[in-house]
Structure 1
Amino acid sequence: MKSLILIALATVFSTGLYAQDKVKGFVYHDANNNGKKDAKETGIAKVAVSNGVQVTLTDEKGRYELPIGNDNGIFVIKPSGYRIPLNADNLPKFYYLHKPMGSPSTLEFKGVSPTGPLPKSVDFGLLPQKEADDYTALIFGDPQAYTAREMEFFEKGIIAEVAGIKDVAFGLSLGDLVGNDLNLHQPYIKAIKKVGLPWYNLIGNHDMNFDVKVDSLSDETYEANFGPANYAFNYGKVHYIILDDVLYPNPRIGKGYLGGFRKDQLDFVENDLKLVGKDQLIVLAFHIPLEHQNGNVFRPEDRQRLFDLLKDYPNTLSLSAHMHTQSQIFYGKKEGWSQEKPHHEYNAGTTSGDWYSGQLNEQGVPAATMRDGTPKGYAFIHFKGNQYVIDYKVAGKDKSYQIEVFHPKVVGQGKSTRAGIYANFFMGYRTDLVECRIGNGKWEKMSPANAADPAYLAELHPWDTSEELLAGRRPTNATDSPHLWRMSIATDLPIGTHVIEVRATDRYGRTHTQKSIYRIEKAKEL
């Protein structure tokens, strides 16, 4: 008889566990900041909450209700003027994972443990905060440490430089938080904590579970460590949409990965945007850039639907990383963008640079200059209402270092030469104005150069010409730089030292300069 009762109870429990199809709860003002909705704490109306596809607004008492399955992340979309509580590692606690059965037990890296029955009420406490429309966010591309040693390089070369930074609202890493060893997610989290900011993350192709057969399960370990891979939040006049744009396995061939989105992800974007004002700046952040390159890198139909969803929003920006180079990408009508003003995607340089390659620099970490000549570093986005300005900061250098100038150190007076002056303007785009002058001479317009950065080649060649083995990893072969300019070098000046000055005007109307020197000597004949 006892065994029959136990079986009956188990059946009732199992039915309750797996038949739950609605999640309910409150978004409330957590006045005492204890993480619980106390009787006297009031709800907050008109706050968006999502199950990863549907999005709803709380009612006048702060209540919400959404459909739920057996594998959902329920999350609040932070409204402007409020802050999300942080955990001990400065990660925002904006979600509740509902996985009654947990992640598949066959995963190489641990996923989400079984979460048990759905709570009667899944509540999200928020805290009011003064939130200016004029603020700065800190952006990291691809920390991507493959080993504990590389995680040390990340900490020493990047984290130590920004630890305790002031006047920055929050940070965001654009995927590839680690390099395939998902056990390094926790050391990464401990490193990021030292920055001292609320920190948001997104998934990259090296943060995935590779031992799965469907894309919806490729983020199980990421979810366990960071929460939902697709979510949104507001800050000031900006609405952020964070997306997983790595399809794994590649749906075309069943292996590898492809840039793109599942239908449920784009349905989430559609439902989310219905509740976002047209006067807001929409910032989309994902790992793989939207450039589909004939569909071989990013699925074009997914990009097109995303562009269609954004057609009525005049202020937009996309953020990506992945490439370990840096570029400004503009999408116009030829690419399926319907507005007159092109859509700007900033494909950010990375904190790992060229995958921690090269010889040690003065910081004691690999120089890791990227193959387009961009030094490793990080970005600041300065927001003012629904407008923005992006700055790139080279790690270990003064913030004024925005241009690398390369040229011969000495030339023969009056001798013709095919050598030239090259300027790599790290945040540049081919339509930017880049000029050069010698001494107090006339400013001359430099021409975009579709070539490898010779300064990077100078770093690379010693690895192939040295008679002794160099420590570390050989940098990646150079690629043509999209932000390189050139002009001829003058040899018809007096013998002596001459100053080269380069100035570049960026897309925000600001001018950046860099100087260098070279010598003119009496020509030597053979």
Structure 2
Amino acid sequence: MICWNKIQVIKRINFDIEFMNASTFLSIVFMLWNLTTSAQDVVKGFVFEDTNQNGMKERREKGLAGIAVSNGREVVLTNNAGSYELPIGNDDIVFVIKPAGYQVRLNAANQPQYYYIHKPNGSPTMEYKGVAPTGPLPKSVDFALVPQAESDDFRMLVLGDPQVLDQRELGYFEHGIVSEIRNAKDVVMGITLGDLVQSDMNLYPDYISLMAQVGVPWYNVIGNHDLNQDAPADSLHDETFEANFGPATYSFNYGKAHFIVLDDNLVPDPRGGRGQWSGYSQKRLDFVKNDLAHVAKDQLIVLINHIQLKHLNDNSMRLSDRQQLFSFFRGYTNVLALSAHTHQQQQFFYGKEDGWPNETPLHEFNVGASCGNWNSGRINEQGVADATASDGTPRGYVYLNISGNRYTADFKVAGKPKDHQIGLFHRKVLATIWWEGRGHIYANFFMGHKDSKVEYRIDEEDWQPMRHTLEPDPAYVAELYRWDTADTLFRGRRPTEPANCSHLWVAPLTNDRALGTHRIQVRATDDYGRQFVQTSSFRIEEDKY
């Protein structure tokens, strides 16, 4: 029932609306909707060991003590009987934070079912459908856990933006990425780092069906293309995502690793207008602080966003939010950040000058998009767009390898052997005449950054260092020129303009060797001490001047 003071508010705004602008009208609609959804109640329930795996708590099934449960802000631990109690409003999700050594129930699409959505009135009407009315709060909201063996050494899949536009691009995603990771045998789970679709969230069921084929529990991050852009308030921008995937901010454990997934989108833009910005609501920041209170400081924490923490432009992370987030991690010695969004592959590092409170810098792996350059480029023999990113990173995905509180990461180029980690570009033939005998070797080390060690040699000469350079990958530029100089249309879509590559090295290529074919070797060492070698060749011929 609506209380008397709410009726007075409604009467006060009962005036002629034809003179309102659209923004004012939407604000009033949201205020009225919020008046009926802001009531706070208490949710109670149990976290229990589901011995018969039917998802229902039965009298003989014991509660589990010390398990974290959250409403998206507060985090509490279950008592000795396995029960918990939390405040909950009428637009909240309560969820269990999966502990190590247990698995939550999975639905038929391998989506973890670790949450209960409480929206008695459902989502407000927007372009894309949100959550249907959930009805009254149940007397007990229980969470079933099943014991499972979890090694401290495990591997998981990480995908950057699929960002599928339509059914055709779903096909690119299926044949270019999913076909390689389908029924993966050596991974325990996977996660997609946002922008699951380009904008049409009616494609979510098709995306979910594809990810179900991988055969492991699959988590998802909300991206800036996964938002209800017509949401009248920031708290409502994830309604369609919630209806399909559950909470947009949550956490879970596996082995000795703790994963924190954050919604770092602000919509509408708090600076004004109907755009968006990257940052965190105070509720999300409070969740991180409260969540970390139950995480050991020497534990590996994987902090996951869609938009990178790096401030690259005015639409990058709101720095005051990043500063508050960083402050929560004081004393945490093993933290990895993952993000996507840029459609480039980059490694960022944050030190004390950036507000990171620890001696060891924070490493952020900004993962390349699985759709690459928005599914542009020529269509290959598999019927998939080439999609090389504008920094020259090929379409691909990542294996994150975790051992205790340490990690390594492997980038896998789709359709290539796993040791294909370097792209080479150079002249194929040099003339003997001196002014025709100059060129360069360019090496794009896909997992590199400016401090990586990259070397080269010709034939059996000594290894020499290559010089890091910040410029477009000439291999990408050359492909773009093919589009621009062709007198017939290629099948596919022209890629975007090139971007400076953060993982590109250069060395001179000269003709001061014998006539004939010579071998080029490039050797790169990653941050984990592993070496990769890529080979190529060039010829020296008599000039025809």
Residues 505, 512 of structure 1: 8 Å contact kept: yes
Map of 1:199 onto structure 2: 218
Map of 1:326 onto structure 2: 345
Note the C-alpha offset of 1:472: 1.8
Q: Distance in 1 between matches of 2:38 and 2:163?
A: 38
Map of 1:229 onto structure 2: 248
Note the C-alpha offset of 1:406: 0.6
Matched, 1:361 2:370: no
Q: Deviations over 1:332-365 (max 9, x none)?
A: 1121112121100000011111111000123220
Matched, 1:183 2:183: no
Q: Give 2:487's match in structure 1, choosing from 461, 467, 479.
A: 467
- Which residues in structure 2 correspond to 1:125-524 (within 5 Å)? 125-293=144-312, 296-413=315-432, 415-416=434-435, 417-524=437-544
Q: Distance in 2 between matches of 1:497 and 1:165?
A: 41
Map of 1:7 onto structure 2: none
Map of 1:47 onto structure 2: 67
Q: CA, structure 1 residues 498+18, in 2 after alignment: closer, same or farther (shift >3 Å)?
A: closer
AA paired with 1:340? E
Please state whether the residue corresponding to 2:260 is helix, strand or coil.
Answer: strand
Q: Distance in 2 between matches of 1:148 and 1:17?
A: 37
Residues 90, 119 of structure 2: 8 Å contact kept: yes
Q: CA, structure 1 residues 470+16, in 2 after alignment: closer, same or farther (shift >3 Å)?
A: closer
Please state whether the residue corresponding to 1:264 is helix, strand or coil.
Answer: helix
AA paired with 1:44? L
AA paired with 2:104? I
Matched, 1:82 2:113: no
Residues 353, 369 of structure 1: 8 Å contact kept: yes
Residues 49, 76 of structure 1: 8 Å contact kept: yes
Identity of aligned residues (%): 55
Note the C-alpha offset of 1:388: 0.1
Q: Deviations over 1:435-479 (max 9, x none)?
A: 000011111100001111011111111111111122221101101
Residues 259, 304 of structure 2: 8 Å contact kept: yes
Q: Distance in 2 between matches of 1:51 and 1:296?
A: 29
Note the C-alpha offset of 1:311: 1.4
Note the C-alpha offset of 1:213: 2.0
AA paired with 2:460? N
Please state whether the residue corresponding to 2:155 is helix, strand or coil.
Answer: strand
Note the C-alpha offset of 1:138: 0.3
Q: TM-score of the superposition, structure 2-length normalised?
A: 0.92
Please state whether the residue corresponding to 2:479 is helix, strand or coil.
Answer: helix
Q: Distance in 2 between matches of 1:305 and 1:418?
A: 52
Q: Distance in 2 between matches of 1:239 and 1:50?
A: 15
Q: Distance in 2 between matches of 1:38 and 1:446?
A: 66
Note the C-alpha offset of 1:254: 2.4
Q: Distance in 2 between matches of 1:366 and 1:294?
A: 29
Q: State the aligned residue count.
A: 510
Please state whether the residue corresponding to 2:472 is helix, strand or coil.
Answer: coil
Deviation above 4 Å: which 4+ runs of structure 1? Answer: 15-20
Map of 1:58 onto structure 2: 78
Q: CA, structure 1 residues 18+441, in 2 after alignment: closer, same or farther (shift >3 Å)?
A: closer
Q: Tell me, which stretches of 5 or more residues in structure 2 are unaligned?
A: 1-34
AA paired with 1:375? P
Q: Distance in 1 between matches of 2:253 and 2:478?
A: 45
Note the C-alpha offset of 1:164: 0.8
Q: Deviations over 1:167-199 (max 9, x none)?
A: 201000000001100000110000000111100
Q: TM-score of the superposition, structure 1-length normalised?
A: 0.95
Q: Which segment is superposed worse, 375-384 or 208-217?
A: 208-217
Note the C-alpha offset of 1:67: 0.2
Q: CA, structure 1 residues 17+283, in 2 after alignment: closer, same or farther (shift >3 Å)?
A: closer
Q: CA, structure 1 residues 395+277, in 2 after alignment: closer, same or farther (shift >3 Å)?
A: same
Q: Deviations over 1:18-73 (max 9, x none)?
A: 85610000000000000100110000000000000000000001000000001011
Map of 2:10 onto structure 1: none
AA paired with 1:461? Y
Q: Distance in 2 between matches of 1:16 and 1:269?
A: 28
Map of 2:16 onto structure 1: none
Map of 1:21 onto structure 2: 41
Q: Distance in 2 between matches of 1:149 and 1:409?
A: 37
Q: Deviations over 1:246-286 (max 9, x none)?
A: 11111112221111101110000000001111121111111
Note the C-alpha offset of 1:330: 0.3
Q: CA, structure 1 residues 16+427, in 2 after alignment: closer, same or farther (shift >3 Å)?
A: closer
Residues 363, 396 of structure 1: 8 Å contact kept: no
Residues 411, 521 of structure 1: 8 Å contact kept: yes
Q: Distance in 2 between matches of 1:428 and 1:296?
A: 25
Instruction: Tell me how large the CA RMSD over aligned residues is.
Output: 1.4
Q: Distance in 2 between matches of 1:27 and 1:16?
A: 30
Map of 1:9 onto structure 2: none
AA paired with 2:443? A
Q: Distance in 1 between matches of 2:384 and 2:282?
A: 42
Residues 20, 118 of structure 1: 8 Å contact kept: no
Please state whether the residue corresponding to 1:32 is helix, strand or coil.
Answer: coil
Map of 2:18 onto structure 1: none
Q: Distance in 2 between matches of 1:18 and 1:404?
A: 55
Map of 1:124 onto structure 2: 143
Residues 18, 100 of structure 1: 8 Å contact kept: no
Note the C-alpha offset of 1:371: 0.4
Q: CA, structure 1 residues 223+17, in 2 after alignment: closer, same or farther (shift >3 Å)?
A: closer
Note the C-alpha offset of 1:490: 2.4
Note the C-alpha offset of 1:524: 2.7
